[in-house]
Structure 1
Amino acid sequence: MRDQRLPSSPGFWRSPLRGPRFTAVFGVVLLVGITLLFVTGLLSYAAYNPDLSPVNDQTPDKGILGFYLFSWPTDPPWLYRLTQGVHVTLGLTLIPVLLAKLWSVVPRLFALPPARSVAHALERISLILLVGGALFQFTTGVLNVQVDYVFPGSFYTLHFYGAWVFFAAFVVHAALKLPTAVRNLRRLRAEEGDLVSPRPAEPTVTRRGAFGLVGGASLLMFATTAGRSFDGPLRETAVLAPRGGPQPGSGPGGFQINKTAAYAGIDRRETGDEAWRLVVTGRSGVVRLSRGELLGLPLHSAALPIACVEGWSTSDQWWRGVRLRDLAALVGHDEPTDVLVESLQRHGAFRRAAMRANQVADPRSLLALDVNGEPLTLDHGYPARIIVPAAPGVLNTKWVARLTFGDL
């Protein structure tokens, strides 16, 4: 008989809560939730127009995993705000469920022998990838939401490869365990199996109470983060969301900023009216325009939010500037075409970004000069920035120095 003091002994794990049905409930919730996470993650990948590589998508050696989906649309203008808001909010909401699921099956991690057959060995290996992948994806996701980049390398690259490893293991695990989970959910009699302790301790909480505790924790995570994707009073509830909560100031420029001019290494002298010129290149040549000359062109306005990969977004702001398609026409492109945007910024990712022709064609896609009736502040991209409906915030390049129109 095994020593009851060792984790490999079933008698070591004495919680009366563990059981197949208890585990199955969390498993079914994660089956639905993680599938939706993966789909919205793919949509986030598509929103960067990854076919415009190596500008927008710098993930190395992705091979068939980097398949291109479609040209990201500009309608509805809040599309990325919705898909990425769901992705991040759902991911945070599922954390208590994930932890409860892992806790419920921890005895199996110590079960001996480690492999009873080749099939069992393969299942155990898939579990290592599943548990490791889940912890990696959720941890890096939370750190990204909190804008705390303590991990080595690029978040985009790490999260991209991690997602495929994790989801592949998840699909295998779901295919193997879903029939068992359904059977366990239908059981009405007392639970049996290797998760049930042979010598359970006295219960301190019922299973219903445990479900309520996990559900309440998930509801708390949802309530303190979901407001980042909404306007009005709900935004005040996003207390766990950096940059996603109440507006950080007042006045025309008093809305969320992801990257300040100081962080990006912007030299004020480069943005002055005497020094700064926008260089526009296209089929017919090169045009250099001062801010004053841009203000002399036909100006248009659009009410658009900014939505970022961290899951936060601004409310609609009123932008005014020159349409991108008008700037394309200025250098010989009568039909809208792709554009490469280059910034003055020296630090941080996406100093260069690209937009597809359908984004340039949208009449709301602007080289913005003003916001909410006033000139852009330096932190919001003065002297000029890109604003495109439904595009990820990082592609709405600030401190624009050059626009190059043509097929990319």
Structure 2
Amino acid sequence: MRDDDPRLPTSPGFWRSPLRGTWFTSVLGLVLLAGVTVLFLTGLVSYAAYNPDLAPVNDQTPDKGLLGFYLFSWPTDPYWLYRLTQGLHVTLGITLIPVLLAKLWSVVPKLFALPPARSLAHALERLSLLLLVGGGLFEFVTGVLNVQLDYLFPGSFYPLHFYGAWVFFAAFLAHAALKTPTALRAVRGRHTEERPPVPAPPGAGQSAAVPADEGGLASPLPDPPTVDRRGALWFVGGGSLLLLVTTAGQSIGGAWRRTALLAPHGWADPGGGPNGFQINKTAGYAGIDPGQTAEGAWRLVVTGRGGRTVRLSRAELLRLPQHSAALPIACVEGWSTADQWWRGVRLRDLAALVGHDGDPPDVLVESLQLHGAFRRGALRANQVADPRSLLALRVNGEDLSPDHGYPARVIVPAAPGVLNTKWVARLTFGEL
């Protein structure tokens, strides 16, 4: 068969949809230009929140090199900051799925076009397109799987998603630089219909016809339309709106959670009572032995300046000055709780017990859990110093439940959920 045989995907005549064209693709591309930029920036922010340059225990991006140039000390104010940025990241990513799929469908003939490279510039464009399509699918697929299935890539999701994002965004920027001028011309000109195809030379047959639209996307042999391009855009927008209203509630919380029908942490809060709010890992999943957390068995080990160490039972912790803070839990999967009322001992007070009076240092927090990427987590000095940062013993007026971290857990304003370590066994203040 010849390359111009309409039975082959390498032939323009193979692709018959009348919807394809520069205007349709341009509108989708401009939406993605804005949306993917926000996704990339909020993703970088998420890595700063995870403190990847603080200590090896939190470093999920090996050999950061130049890619870590933007890292900064994650603030504790506003206390809902991570809830906002990560909720936006996940919700927007899910909402853009119909737009991404429609965009890929609209340009699929370009992926089969021959010859594969007409010049060095064309070869570079095709390579950027390959990285763009492959990187985009990788980022969206791994992101959705992580959101929907929780810990599908234990310990590896963070570097995979991080490096994949840089590859994808680099290709995205190159593609945007090449195609944005064409897209803007098409949208400003309101090319809702492409110019008719250039007639084929006499005797050349239908398959030789070439579309005259600027992007070369319109079919030379279109099938009869059943919907126009504006109608197709409304269909894509409707799909995005549907995903938005059925997932955003897991980030907003409250009564809105009941609308998140497609989100794993949607619907109603689990159970009831003071401990009746969302969790990621149960005590059973984390391998917590009830015998380890029993009143007579558990001790918190706190180590500080010069190796000074104290061991505190839960009863002894309850006799220390108690403080309260209303804080949410917000996770990388995009879900969050409403503000819960936590009560316990300030982290900075525990630092003072082991010789760190005044400005407290960083702290390494270790859990009783047997496995998991964040069995140990490090917090920065500014997080330790915040008066709302607690080793929480109670929530909403009741002792923590086993699934919420009994006998003690960390709660820090604006920190990702995995750094609010549950089932705490040891705190080490000082150089990490």
TM-score range normalised by the length of the shorter chain = over 0.9
- What CA distance in whole angstroms lies between the structure 1 residues aligned with 2:94 and 2:258? 18
Structure 1 residue 72 displacement after superposition? 0.5
Q: Give the TM-score normalised by the residue count of structure 1.
A: 0.98
Identity of aligned residues (%): 77
How is 1:42-81 mapped onto 2 (pairs within 5 angstroms)? 42-81=44-83
Q: From the CA coordinates, give the structure whose radius of gyration is larger.
A: 2
In the alignment, is the contact (CA less than 8 A) between 1:337 and 1:407 conserved in 2?
A: yes
Structure 1 residue 234 displacement after superposition? 1.2
Deviations 1:29-57 (A, max 9, x none): 00000000000001100001111131111
Partner in structure 1 of residue 378 of structure 2: 354
Q: Relative to structure 1, is the Cα distance of residues 52 and 107 closer, same or farther in structure 2, using a 3 angstrom cutoff?
A: same
Q: What is the aligned counterpart of 2:268 among 222, 236, 246?
A: 246
Structure 1 residue 347 displacement after superposition? 1.7
**RMSD of the alignment, in Å?**
1.3
What secondary structure does 2:284 align onto? helix
Q: What is the aligned counterpart of 1:131 among 130, 133, 146?
A: 133
How is 1:4-153 mapped onto 2 (pairs within 5 angstroms)? 4-147=6-149, 149-150=151-152
Q: What is the aligned counterpart of 1:344 among 364, 368, 393?
A: 368
In the alignment, is the contact (CA less than 8 A) between 2:259 and 2:266 conserved in 1?
A: no
Q: Does 1:385 align with 2:387?
A: no
Deviations 1:49-108 (A, max 9, x none): 111131111322332113352110111110000000000000000000000000000111
Deviations 1:215-264 (A, max 9, x none): 00000000001111223321110111112432011001111110111111
Q: Does 1:403 align with 2:403?
A: no
- What CA distance in whole angstroms lies between the structure 1 residues aligned with 2:266 and 2:58? 24
Q: Does 1:214 align with 2:236?
A: yes
In the alignment, is the contact (CA less than 8 A) between 2:369 and 2:423 conserved in 1?
A: yes
Structure 1 residue 151 displacement after superposition? 5.6
What secondary structure does 2:243 align onto? helix
The amino acid that maps onto 2:46 is S
Partner in structure 2 of residue 306 of structure 1: 329
In the alignment, is the contact (CA less than 8 A) between 2:49 and 2:82 conserved in 1?
A: yes
Structure 1 residue 352 displacement after superposition? 0.5
- What CA distance in whole angstroms lies between the structure 1 residues aligned with 2:56 and 2:376? 10
Q: Does 1:371 align with 2:371?
A: no
Q: Does 1:205 align with 2:227?
A: yes
What secondary structure does 1:379 align onto? helix
Q: Does 1:269 align with 2:291?
A: yes
In the alignment, is the contact (CA less than 8 A) between 1:244 and 1:314 conserved in 2?
A: no
Q: What is the aligned counterpart of 2:345 among 305, 310, 322?
A: 322
**Post-superposition, which runs of at least 4 consecutive aligned residues in structure 1 deviate over 4 A?**
148-153
Partner in structure 2 of residue 182 of structure 1: 184
Q: Relative to structure 1, is the Cα distance of residues 22 and 234 closer, same or farther in structure 2, using a 3 angstrom cutoff?
A: same
What secondary structure does 1:262 align onto? coil
Which 5+ residue runs of structure 2 have no aligned equivalent?
195-212
Q: What is the aligned counterpart of 1:228 among 228, 232, 250?
A: 250
Partner in structure 2 of residue 196 of structure 1: 218
What secondary structure does 2:277 align onto? coil
Q: Give the TM-score normalised by the residue count of structure 2.
A: 0.92
The amino acid that maps onto 1:248 is P
- What CA distance in whole angstroms lies between the structure 2 residues aligned with 1:358 and 1:164? 29
Paired residues in the alignment total 408
